[in-house]
Amino acid sequence: MTFKLLLLPGDGIGPEVIAEVERVIAWLTTKGARFSVERDLVGGAAFDAHGTPISEPAMKKALDADAVLFGAVGGPKWANAPYDKRPEAALLRLRKDLGLFANLRPAICFDALKDSSALKPEIVSGLDILIVRELTGGVYFGEPRGITKLPDGERRAVDTQVYTTGEIRRIARVAFELARKRRNKVASAEKHNVMHSGLLWKEEVTYVHGAEFKDVELSHILADNCAMQLVRNPKQFDVIVTDNLFGDVLSDEAAMLTGSIGMLPSASLGNRDEKTGKQRALYEPIHGSAPDIAGKGLANPIAAILSFAMCLRYSFAMMKEADLIERAVAKILDDGYRTKDIMQAGKREVGTQEMGSAVLAALDKLAA
Ligand code: NAD
């Protein structure tokens, strides 16, 4: 079977980290994996070439692909681009048109990096949690929204938090299904004590659990308490499912438990087509285009490489290969390889390409 991949490297360090992913793709190809790889522009690069952050042909390729690998977009060069043409608009369009409603953010603390976390090593050592964030509903999209001027001259801003049963049930299912492949525990975070949308969220997650996933352990937690527990005792969690707004905040908090932004992958998934089994998906490192280090060969490519490992696991069911890549990353960290963002005394500082080469060498050893 040949898997169709679309690479959208984007701006800043995006192309630098995706270049290292391409080396991993090429390595897997030598071991018999089959990918057909297409590339296109996105973000500021697409704006410069086509006057739009994502062209229609690129959107078509994304819709046709089995998975999209995205680098990062944005930068000071496009700070004054029209609002609907700003580089980040490409990502919103991709999420919307591909129907990517489930955002998966693992927070894994590699043992070799446990001292880089802001928390005590014993609190984060062995950490492996997954935040499942609803991505296309809630307060970032709800209507009415906007800023109006009142007759007395004051201004008034409105955002609307809105969820339907269908939106809640489909994200709950994603979380329960993922939990079954992990430690079988889901914590659902909302604010049912003060928000109607929180109450509906709790009721609907409970409904889906009772109807389809009784074998999974479910707990409910208030989102503010969840934020506290993430720094008090993060290892109590396995999968956390939450809405768009709380997920935005909680996943960034969880990211920081692990040390560096350059280490963290993510996945965004759509509905699985009942007939074809196809599920649209986009994989990307959580970091941005890092204009401060772009072009200097300093970017850590591990987040992008781990995003590709997630792609192998969730889109292509290539579990063995995904494990292999994750083990290779753990190995080179154990061996002391560090890009600048995760550098520690006594370790070996390397650039983007050297880190990529170290991953390939580790893959060779582990596969031998
Ligand atoms: P950023 O993630 O680009 O950078 C934050 C800090 O982390 C910087 O100091 C950067 O050097 C460092 N960093 C980030 N990734 C790194 C890596 N792989 N290796 C080593 N260091 C790394 O966030 P920002 O500075 O707030 O945003 C820069 C631009 O990126 C903005 O235009 C923003 O809109 C855009 N952005 C894009 C995305 C995306 O494409 N998904 C996400 C966030 C920000």
DSSP secondary structure of 206-232: HHHHHHH-TTSEEEEEEHHHHHHHHHH
**Cβ(174) to ligand 1 under 6 A?**
no
Q: Can you read off the two tokens belonging to residue 223?
A: 């989102």
Q: How far is the CA of 286 from the centre of ligand 1 (A)?
A: 8
- Which listed residue (97, 111, 128, 248) is catalytic? 248
CB 293 near ligand 1, within 6 Å: yes
Give the pLDDT confidence score for residue 308 in this predicted structure: 98
- CB atoms closer than 10 angstroms to residue 348: 12
Residue type at 315 in one-letter notation: S
pLDDT at position 256, please?
Answer: 84
CA 337 to centroid of chain Cα atoms: 24
Strand order in the sheet with 185-190: 35-39, 3-10, 67-72, 279-285, 265-272, 102-108, 128-134, 239-242, 185-190, 217-222
- 323: annotated active-site residue: no
**Beta bridge mates, 100:** none
Nearest CA to ligand 1 atom 25: 290
The per-residue pLDDT for 38 is: 98
DSSP 8-state symbol, 154: -
Low-confidence stretches of the chain (pLDDT beneath 70): none
Q: Which of 191, 314, 337, 341 is catalytic?
A: 191
* Pair of tokens at residue 74: 């944005």
Question: What's the pLDDT score for residue 159?
Answer: 96
Residue 287 alpha carbon to ligand 1 centre in Å:
5
Structure confidence at residue 275 (pLDDT)? 87
Distances 236 to 171, 222, 226 between C-alpha atoms, Å: 21, 15, 11
pLDDT attached to residue 274: 82
Task: State residue 204's pLDDT score.
Answer: 98
283 catalytic? Reply is no
Q: Is the CB of 9 under 6 A from ligand 1?
A: no
What six digits make up the tokens of 261? 């932004």
Asked if residues 328 and 362 have their Cβ atoms less than 8 Å apart, the reply is: yes
Ligand 1 in reach of 42 Cβ (< 6 A): no
| 140 is annotated as an active-site residue | yes
242 to 109, 148, 200, 328: CA distances (angstroms): 21, 30, 12, 31
Write the pLDDT tens digit of every residue in 71-102: 999 999 999 999 889 999 999 899 989 999 99
Mutation test of ligand 1: which of 287, 337, 354 has the most ligand atoms closer than 8 Å to its C-beta? 287
- Nearest to 213, CA basis, from 241, 190, 233: 241
Q: Give the residue whose CA is nearest to atom 36 of ligand 1.
A: 288
Q: Ligand 1 pocket, 261 CB below 6 A?
A: yes
Helix/strand/coil for 191:
coil
- Which domains does the chain carry? 1-106+264-368 (3.40.718.10), 128-257 (3.40.718.10)
pTM: 0.92
Q: Tell how far the Cα of 132 is from the centroid of ligand 1, in angstroms.
A: 22
